[in-house]
Structure 1
């Protein structure tokens, strides 16, 4: 079993895992990876002997940072239920920081939403927090995440534009490699996000090849 990354270098990402959200999730994960930290998402733990909530709690407790996107906490059409998982996991993270022992009390949280002030309709208790709005734009979410993590990482700081450029370079490298291995474009699009995250780590460890 691969050992878990250190607490102080781990970033729990709480967001939807559907196809529509995948570009945002992958952009967020790339920011984290490119800045020398480790993205932690629930699908990384495939141990079916543990229920999903226990796996999520373990990731939250093992991560100093938490990025929580509340943009899907509302119903999209009549008769549809709102999705509460993301706000529930934000509450767990906040409780860890409030009531946990050191080092949990040093946890930091970034809350994202799609449309400004949407969260107030379903989670008004966090009014006054610095909620960041991305509008479904992966370029904007890169800027938000890079700025939030600025000063929290080791090594030479990187600006958002540089990270965005690195992301394009990574994608070109990754697609070229996978096609060279016999994958089609549709195959690559269907890859699970956790597989793409492994490739991001590999790309950084190889010195960010072009």
Structure 2
């Protein structure tokens, strides 16, 4: 069953993308939504099966295709993101009665670059973030403004995130974790920490 508050996230999970993943997660949680990221505790579970289950239960999906390119000279382009994006679109098209209400946001680095990479997605909601944390907050906030009520302007979310980022680094450093390493904590830890911080922040500022 589709959950009206769940948001499936399809993006790179590495240290280069971590400065964008954190504000992406923060914005979703700030809007009282629930980010869904593939993170399995069962070593016998096939990851793609877990991903499809997350897609099936999420009304919203955010697919970041900005890394379909070489980051370093000897790297290969990353195709996990367009692959998962295609599965999600296929899911929606295969059963419109159940999944026809799913909504997708496609994120890219530069406006219109997607046309040279995956032109079939033209006509969908596609926004650029220019690899800037503030821009990804604005892009995600603006997209959700169309679908849900009482969405604040993006600037207050950005200012709250800046405060959180400072506190988050302090907490991790104090507890012996590396705030720059995406593998230092589980995604569940990150989301739980953000949720608690945002609740306290809103209580203090409302």
| TM band (smaller chain) | 0.7 to 0.9
Q: Report matched runs for 1:73-152 at 5 Å.
A: 73-77=68-72, 80-100=75-95, 102-152=97-147
Match of 2:46 in 1: 51
Match of 1:66 in 2: 61
Out of 16, 19, 24, the residue aligned to residue 28 of structure 1 is 24
Is there any run of 5+ residues in structure 2 with no aligned partner, and where?
Answer: none
How far the C-alpha of 1:204 sits from its partner, in A, is 3.0
2:4 aligns to what SS in structure 1? Answer: helix
2:83 aligns to what SS in structure 1? Answer: helix
2:62 aligns to what SS in structure 1? Answer: strand
Q: What's the CA shift string for 1:117-149, capped at 9, x where partnerless? A: 322222122233342111101101100100101
How far the C-alpha of 1:152 sits from its partner, in A, is 2.9
How far the C-alpha of 1:46 sits from its partner, in A, is 2.2
1:157 aligns to what SS in structure 2? Answer: coil
RMSD between superposed Cα atoms in Å: 2.4
Out of 180, 185, 189, the residue aligned to residue 189 of structure 1 is 180
Match of 1:41 in 2: 37
How far the C-alpha of 1:209 sits from its partner, in A, is 6.3
Greater Cα offset, 112-121 or 135-144: 112-121
1:26 aligns to what SS in structure 2? Answer: helix
How far the C-alpha of 1:83 sits from its partner, in A, is 1.6
How far the C-alpha of 1:150 sits from its partner, in A, is 1.0
**CA contact under 8 A between 2:105 and 2:124: conserved in structure 1?**
no
Is there any run of 5+ residues in structure 1 with no aligned partner, and where?
Answer: none
How far the C-alpha of 1:193 sits from its partner, in A, is 5.7
2:105 aligns to what SS in structure 1? Answer: strand
Query: Cα–Cα, structure 1 residues 78 and 142, in superposed 2: closer, same or farther, change >3 Å?
Result: same
**CA contact under 8 A between 2:27 and 2:157: conserved in structure 1?**
yes
**CA contact under 8 A between 2:11 and 2:65: conserved in structure 1?**
yes
Q: Report matched runs for 1:192-203 at 5 Å.
A: 192=185, 194=187, 195-203=189-197
Query: Cα–Cα, structure 1 residues 129 and 26, in superposed 2: closer, same or farther, change >3 Å?
Result: same
How far the C-alpha of 1:207 sits from its partner, in A, is 5.1
